[in-house]
Structure 1
């Protein structure tokens, strides 16, 4: 998903396209990630989860190899679009299987977040290094090889049954959205991931603006801070215990997230590098706690609620991957950062006045 992010300045030069068009390589996958989970939420009510995962991995393996052969912006974007349709099958399938273990749902989701964070960090860091040492096409060949390994393990593992939840309908979706607890969590993650995806998406261009000779390897290393998400997700129970409950923990995460966003106004490369670490601490505190809360609010239809969570999360990322790049190109870096701060303050106020909805978590 994120391997293209540190490569965007390089791909923009390779295909002779603008920053906004280069950002679409991430935006398109976010957009379909936002749309597809609901569909896969339906499929997983009646189709064997293991079958869905195996077919999706095979298609993703093929498309990544095809990306390595791309010679135009249009071809690259088309293949990324196909991947965007397939990836939600893997994410929603995995979340559905984990959610079936009712006694350990919260712990499972924490480990799930840690796994996705690790993948996101490795994808960003290693793609920059591989691109500089061997060329950007080798990045996608290496991803295909990694997917061969993933397929082997998925094929070997024995799932404890398949998704057996009730088949949802649009009334189910409407009922979930009418539940203000869900709509509040969904709104929170829309804004948070809009800011997170938006800032990290344009950060490579900012680094190139400040330090034109920065290599792809160094740009990739910017995302090492993403690894803080692993630490946060695996120790979130201790963090929540420190703040007593989930909602106060979310507020603490928002405070850190806002503070880190302000740090990106600095023009010092070292400070920007360190700011990513703080930025990720705030974001993944919010994300991990919100995932746990959203998946424990409703016992039935967890496949649907998980899919809807992902929809709001990734539509925020899709919009965040395009709008900030336009604002950055038109009005500059500082204006973009102040826009992020404004949105975060709005959601902080919204969550504050909605805290009474979460009596068991507050």
Structure 2
């Protein structure tokens, strides 16, 4: 693969993920701006997660095959327009409408990018997929920090205008891509899906990732409101800096082989990551911004260890139907994220931060027991 092509794909992934997560540190500001509740403001992120969860099913039935480059350009144009309108939106309903339109095209873009990356250089597919994961993590990190910085120093409207400019550059780049192939989208059969779900190894990994991402998305989504509660004068930029811990995902995804080697097996690594993740979650009850900053680094380390190793495990369990098993993995993962971006904010509003954390710890203890119980199914 030409380095130029790889650069274009990585740039596009970073921009798409920046758009996806740009609203997260701004949620308290947007809640105030549109005079809405915490729960309503949380929907700006939750709506995209929801569409990422259901898109493999929807797109699988609408599009059998589609030109990946063409889909990427058309979706980017829509994203370019919606971001301008997000900057101009003067009320909650309009803002949510444009975020919902974005939620429809972002999965199509990520499907195209993944397809191009997997097919443009078939000899280095594993390495390319780790680049994909690292780029999504970096995009999520950059989007949050960048939006907090712009909102604090200029205004939140300029977060969306500047993202539109970045999308415009990506449209130009994509038109120069040398890849002209199709993005094959899986059309799942109900019988295939139920057969995979009946396999304990898959159902355990799917449930594990649903719960882990539910907790992870829940913490990161309610976090800006919690920080405003601890310190009323904290700026959007300072809030966004707490997401720097997200960068741990890049380190983990690029060193996953070494981590697995250290723990002797994938299932041991998942258990170690889970226990560590649960342990750190308990300490998030400490009402101190600096402590929170350090804990989020460790929190992300635990989550990305579980996620990276689980992705590899889910893809290695079955020789055939790889696209269906990985598609189902992403569905459970993002469904956990969508519900996690929404439900905890309701509990936080009614019962406070500590109740949310205790609920998360309860879920994580149950999932640790489940994985321990099913451990034998993974040891071959």
Gaps (5+ residues) in structure 2? Answer: 1-19
CA contact (8 A) 1:41 1:307 kept: no
Q: Structure 1's 178 and 123: CA in aligned 2 closer, same or farther, altered over 3 A? A: same
2:331 to 311, 333, 339: 311
Tell me if 1:47 matches 2:30: no
Cα separation, 2, equivalents of 1:120 and 1:250: 23
Tell me if 1:237 matches 2:238: no
CA contact (8 A) 1:38 1:308 kept: no
Cα separation, 1, equivalents of 2:190 and 2:108: 20
Number of the residue aligned with 2:38: 19
Tell me if 1:77 matches 2:96: yes
Deviation at residue 219 of structure 1 after TM alignment: 0.5
Number of the residue aligned with 2:378: 358
Cα separation, 2, equivalents of 1:295 and 1:96: 16
CA contact (8 A) 2:66 2:184 kept: no
Cα separation, 2, equivalents of 1:298 and 1:148: 40
1:141 to 135, 153, 161: 161
TM-score (norm 2): 0.89
Number of the residue aligned with 1:348: 368
294-303 vs 156-165, greater mean Cα deviation: 156-165
Deviation at residue 106 of structure 1 after TM alignment: 3.6
Tell me if 1:271 matches 2:300: no
Number of the residue aligned with 1:189: 209
CA contact (8 A) 2:23 2:44 kept: yes
CA contact (8 A) 2:152 2:235 kept: yes
Tell me if 1:212 matches 2:251: no
Q: What whole-Å deviation, never above 9, does each CA across 1:196-217 have from its counterpart, x for those lacking one?
A: 0001101111110110000111
Deviation at residue 352 of structure 1 after TM alignment: 1.4
TM-score (norm 1): 0.93
Cα separation, 2, equivalents of 1:165 and 1:21: 33
CA contact (8 A) 2:59 2:185 kept: no
Q: What whole-Å deviation, never above 9, does each CA across 1:13-66 have from its counterpart, x for those lacking one?
A: 100111111111111111122111222345564222222222222211211111
1:152 to 165, 169, 172: 172
161-170 vs 64-73, greater mean Cα deviation: 161-170
Cα separation, 2, equivalents of 1:165 and 1:20: 34
CA contact (8 A) 1:41 1:303 kept: no
Tell me if 1:225 matches 2:231: no
Q: Structure 1's 137 and 166: CA in aligned 2 closer, same or farther, altered over 3 A? A: closer
Number of the residue aligned with 1:92: 111
Deviation at residue 266 of structure 1 after TM alignment: 0.6
Cα separation, 2, equivalents of 1:244 and 1:155: 45
The alignment of Structure 1 onto Structure 2 pairs a total of residues equal to 360
Deviation at residue 164 of structure 1 after TM alignment: 5.4
Number of the residue aligned with 1:125: 145
Q: Structure 1's 65 and 275: CA in aligned 2 closer, same or farther, altered over 3 A? A: same
CA contact (8 A) 1:327 1:336 kept: yes
Q: Structure 1's 167 and 310: CA in aligned 2 closer, same or farther, altered over 3 A? A: closer
